[in-house]
């Protein structure tokens, strides 16, 4: 009797204590991870502010010495981009343009310095500005105000490119895109996001969004991750994402689903890159089999885009591999197709002829030539011909059994 009482009283307590201890340990680990990220970011903030100050100080000294100060910006164009398979992304080349302070350039020069000053203020107040915010902020810069947003966008891009050479990203400068959609996430992932003011860490469990999902914020520099997933599946269309999410494909496949919504926004690419880097997870892309899906969506995700190569080192996902839909899937799965339009053919031929990424990878050249020979394209939802959930029950499991066959 005594034993039984003891058992029924103590065992639950013990179990509770063990559970509590485990929860506390996990909480401590999460807090530590978040504070490591916060410390690293504070160090990066110092570097950023220091670089801004040094650049500005140099300009001032030149002026005091009676000289005309210069600023140097990498040229942002496809002609100044290189791709090395080893690095895995588009790199900006060594060509630079020089902006010297003269009577003609004084306004633009002043604007550049004001924009750098805005960045410094943002870092110091832990705030951010979108491109549009920055344009309107300038309306209070008197003579240095911008007349149109494209002007301020160019100055911002130049500053980003200038500092990117020293390893500082746009996010560290606290400049964010204006995009509304940065992608959605569901699956076996906990996002750790510390509060801007208190530092208290939110645990965002991406298995707990019902039929909805986690919407990626404009900047992901402060977040870290906990996951036991096996891979990340980056999906082109909202329709396929919603199907996989509603049927909890992430549970059976032990993975993380990311909805890119077409060409992935920068924050979406940065999120996938950070998640893959931090948690050593492979990234598989699942997009339409057409020149747009291959050479715009997948290529941008993996190696970056030509006219923003200064951002690629931070934003692209060199470890991404192409799961499908492949040209040979069209045959193997007898998919309904549409004929290639002129614009598709042009895009495919451009990729073969001019794109350093496709020129480097033989299997891609073969695949694109194959597609051009067939003269057709297929959407990822074409698999629905065989049943709405064929993609979940047949296609993805078969594909995922042989990741070594994915295109590079």
- Kindly report whether the peptide bond that precedes residue 207 is cis, defined as omega within 30 degrees of 0: no
What residues pair up with 255 in beta bridges, in sequence order? 231
Q: What is the nearest approach in angstroms of its own copies to the Cβ of residue 135?
A: 8
| 120 vs 168: CA distance, rounded Å | 13
Query: C-alpha distances in angstroms, 110 versus 104, 119, 147, 241?
Result: 11, 14, 14, 47
Residue whose CB is less far from its own copies, 70 or 178:
178
CA 321 to chain centre: 15
Maximum C-alpha span of the chain? 97
Report DSSP state, residue 236: S
Query: Which residue is associated with the tokens 């100044």?
Result: 80
Q: What is the nearest approach in angstroms of its own copies to the Cβ of residue 67?
A: 35
| 74 vs 303: CA distance, rounded Å | 19
- Kindly report whether the peptide bond that precedes residue 109 is cis, defined as omega within 30 degrees of 0: no
Residue whose CB is less far from its own copies, 331 or 385:
385
Residue whose CB is less far from its own copies, 84 or 246:
246
Q: What is the nearest approach in angstroms of its own copies to the Cβ of residue 390?
A: 10
Residue whose CB is less far from its own copies, 75 or 181:
181
Which segments within 218-281 are labelled E, that is strand? 224-226, 231-235, 255-259
Task: Give the count of beta carbons closer than 10 Å to the beta carbon of residue 28.
Answer: 10
Q: What is the nearest approach in angstroms of its own copies to the Cβ of residue 126?
A: 10
Q: Sheet harboring 190-194: ordered strands across? A: 201-205, 190-194, 224-226
Q: What is the nearest approach in angstroms of its own copies to the Cβ of residue 202?
A: 4
Q: What is the nearest approach in angstroms of its own copies to the Cβ of residue 324?
A: 15
Please give the structure tokens belonging to residue 163: 């500092």
Residue whose CB is less far from its own copies, 217 or 356:
217
Active-site residue identified among 83, 89, 136, 181: 136
Residue whose CB is less far from its own copies, 128 or 315:
128
Residues that bind its own copies (CB under 8 A): 127-130, 132-133, 136-137, 139-140, 176, 178-182, 184, 191, 193-196, 202, 204, 208-219, 222-223, 237-239, 241-243, 245-248, 259-262, 336, 379, 381-386, 388-389
Catalytic residue list contains 135: no
Strands 96-100 and 70-74: antiparallel
Q: Which residues belong to the active site? A: 136
């Amino acid at each position: 009797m005594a034993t039984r009482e003891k058992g029924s009283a103590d065992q639950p307590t013990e179990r509770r204590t063990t559970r509590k201890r485990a929860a506390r340990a996990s909480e401590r680990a999460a807090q530590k991870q978040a504070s490591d990220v916060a410390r690293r970011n504070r160090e990066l903030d110092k570097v950023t502010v220091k670089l801004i100050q040094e650049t500005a100080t140099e300009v001032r000294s030149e002026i005091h010495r009676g000289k005309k100060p210069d600023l140097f910006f990498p040229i942002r164009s496809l002609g100044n981009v290189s791709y090395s398979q080893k690095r895995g992304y588009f790199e900006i080349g060594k060509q630079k343009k020089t902006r010297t302070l003269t009577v003609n350039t004084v306004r633009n020069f002043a604007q550049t310095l004001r924009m750098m000053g805005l960045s410094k203020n943002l870092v110091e107040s832990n705030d951010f500005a979108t491109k549009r915010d920055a344009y309107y902020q300038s309306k209070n810069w008197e003579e240095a105000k911008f007349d149109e947003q494209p002007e301020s966008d160019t100055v911002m891009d130049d500053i980003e490119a200038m500092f990117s050479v020293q390893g500082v990203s746009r996010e560290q400068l606290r400049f964010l895109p204006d995009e509304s959609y940065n992608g959605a996430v569901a699956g076996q992932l906990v996002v750790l996001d510390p509060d801007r003011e208190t530092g208290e860490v939110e645990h965002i469990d991406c298995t707990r969004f019902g039929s909805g999902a986690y919407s990626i914020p404009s900047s992901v520099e402060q977040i870290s991750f906990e996951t036991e997933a096996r891979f990340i599946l980056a999906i082109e269309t909202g329709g396929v994402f919603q199907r996989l999410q509603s049927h909890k494909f992430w549970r059976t496949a032990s993975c993380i689903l990311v909805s890119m919504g077409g060409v992935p926004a920068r924050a979406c690419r940065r999120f996938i890159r950070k998640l893959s880097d931090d948690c050593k997870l492979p990234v598989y892309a699942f997009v339409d089999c057409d020149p747009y899906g291959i050479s715009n969506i997948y290529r941008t995700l993996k190696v970056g885009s030509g006219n923003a190569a200064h951002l690629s080192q931070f934003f692209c996902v060199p470890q991404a591999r192409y799961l499908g839909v492949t040209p040979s899937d069209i045959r193997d799965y007898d998919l309904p197709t549409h004929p290639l339009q002129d614009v598709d053919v042009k895009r495919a031929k451009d990729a073969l002829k001019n794109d350093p990424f496709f020129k480097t990878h033989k299997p891609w050249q073969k695949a694109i030539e194959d597609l051009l020979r067939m003269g057709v394209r297929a959407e990822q939802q074409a698999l629905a011909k065989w049943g709405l959930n064929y993609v979940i029950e047949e296609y993805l499991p078969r594909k995922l059994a042989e990741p070594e066959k994915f295109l590079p």
